[in-house]
């Protein structure tokens, strides 16, 4: 098995300060959370930008400031969101790609998202994939429903993405695929050989699915975007605390944790010199 890549999803677009008092919001807070997650063992940070009042934004300037501060603090892989919030326009969502990050997320289909709809029509998905290819940005396919894998494979057929592909199975979002090990096993079985994958278990599904992924040779995402609790009824102190738990379990399993450069190698991202 390869070393374990841990992603910390630091903020998301949905969680509020009312729900999680330690949610990082400003670029400085997000960069500090990234540094803490890196020090705890994260190789990638998945980032959503926010305005000072907490409103999610896809503004390139805000993402640029976050990227600059994170790069100054540590060598972690910066992975901005092209998902944004459900109400962002397609053009808003694509803005962070102009910063030429090493990676970015890409959801390859539309699904229910709680009471909302997370819209990812083919035109948007192809435009995002084309831009990422032009700029040498590694896509992480966010898979909320099984058909999204087929859509990612269609991008491959059209030459809009290159192998090896990398998938994130986001399981347990109300309205989309449930957070079960059976679903995870089914999805892992459906991706091309040689692909890499990680899992984001939402809420109470975070730790059980992380454990399954670690045993299956996959990678793991944790953090406030996915889960704000350390355990039932007890809020987590930080995303770093959730990363630290995964590191602890990985050690018990005998699975070494990847550094950012080791993660770059596993994912096929050029290592910076
Ligand atoms: N906030 C969700 C609607 C991504 O970052 O690419 C979409 C999302 C996926 O979080
Ligand atoms: Zn996200």
Q: Which residues line ligand 1 (CB under 6 A)?
A: 12-13, 81-83, 85-86, 105, 107, 113, 118, 142
- Can you tell me which atom of ligand 1 is nearest the CA of 113? 3
Identify the band that residue 272 occupies on the pLDDT scale cut at 50, 70 and 90: confident
Rounded distance from Cα 193 to ligand 2 centre (Å): 25
**C-alpha pair distances (Å), 212 with each of 36, 169, 172, 206, 259:** 25, 12, 15, 10, 21
Give tens-digit pLDDT for 84-93.
999 999 999 9
Is residue 186 scored above 90 in pLDDT? Answer: yes
Q: What is the whole-number distance in angstroms between the Cα of residue 223 and the centre of ligand 1?
A: 13
Cβ neighbours of residue 29 under 8 Å, at least 6 residues apart?
none
> In the chain, what are the domain boundaries?
6-267
Cα 75 from Cα 78, distance rounded (Å):
9
What are the tokens at 20?
């999680």
- Ligand index nearest the alpha carbon of residue 119: 1
Find the 48 Cα to ligand 2 centroid distance in Å: 6
27-81: pLDDT as tens digits: 999 999 999 999 999 999 999 999 999 999 999 999 999 999 999 999 999 999 9
For residue 85, give the ligand nearest its CA: 1
Helical residues (DSSP H) of 158-255, grouped into ranges:
181-190, 206-216, 239-253
R_g over Cα of the chain: 17
Under CATH, domain 6-267 is a member of which superfamily? Aldolase class I (3.20.20.70)
212-225 mean pLDDT: 98
Give Cβ neighbours of residue 166 (< 8 Å, ≥ 6 apart). 138, 139, 140, 141, 195, 196, 197, 198, 267
Confidence band for 122, pLDDT divided at 50, 70 and 90: very high
Residue 119 pLDDT greater than 90, yes or no: yes
> What mean pLDDT, rounded, does the chain reach?
98
Helix, strand or coil, per DSSP, at residue 81: coil
Please return the burial class of 233, using the count of CB atoms within 10 Å of its CB with bins 0-12, 13-18 and 19+: exposed
């Amino acid at each position: 098995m390869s070393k374990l890549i841990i992603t910390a999803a630091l903020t998301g677009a949905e969680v509020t300060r009312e729900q999680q008092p330690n949610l990082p919001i400003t670029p400085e807070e997000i960069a500090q959370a990234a540094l803490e997650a890196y020090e705890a063992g994260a190789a990638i940070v998945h980032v959503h930008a926010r305005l000072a009042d907490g409103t999610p934004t896809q503004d390139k300037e805000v993402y640029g400031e976050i990227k600059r501060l994170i790069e100054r603090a540590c060598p972690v892989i910066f992975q901005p969101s092209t998902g944004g919030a459900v109400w962002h326009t397609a053009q808003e969502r694509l803005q962070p790609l102009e910063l030429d990050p090493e990676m970015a997320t890409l959801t390859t289909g539309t699904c229910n998202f709680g009471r909302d709809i997370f819209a990812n029509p083919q035109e948007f998905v192809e435009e995002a994939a084309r831009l990422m290819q032009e700029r040498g940005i590694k896509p992480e396919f966010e898979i909320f429903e099984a058909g999204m894998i087929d859509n990612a494979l269609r991008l491959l057929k059209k030459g809009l993405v290159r192998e090896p592909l990398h998938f994130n199975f986001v399981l347990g979002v109300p309205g989309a695929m449930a957070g079960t090990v059976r679903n995870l096993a089914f999805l892992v079985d459906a991706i091309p050989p040689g692909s890499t994958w990680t899992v984001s278990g939402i809420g109470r599904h975070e730790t059980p699915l992380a454990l399954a992924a670690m045993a299956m040779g996959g990678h793991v995402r944790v953090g406030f975007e996915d889960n704000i609790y350390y355990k039932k009824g007890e809020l987590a102190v930080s995303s770093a605390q959730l990363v630290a738990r995964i590191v602890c379990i990985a050690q018990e399993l005998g699975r070494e944790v990847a550094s950012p450069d080791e993660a770059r190698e596993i994912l096929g991202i050029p290592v910076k010199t």
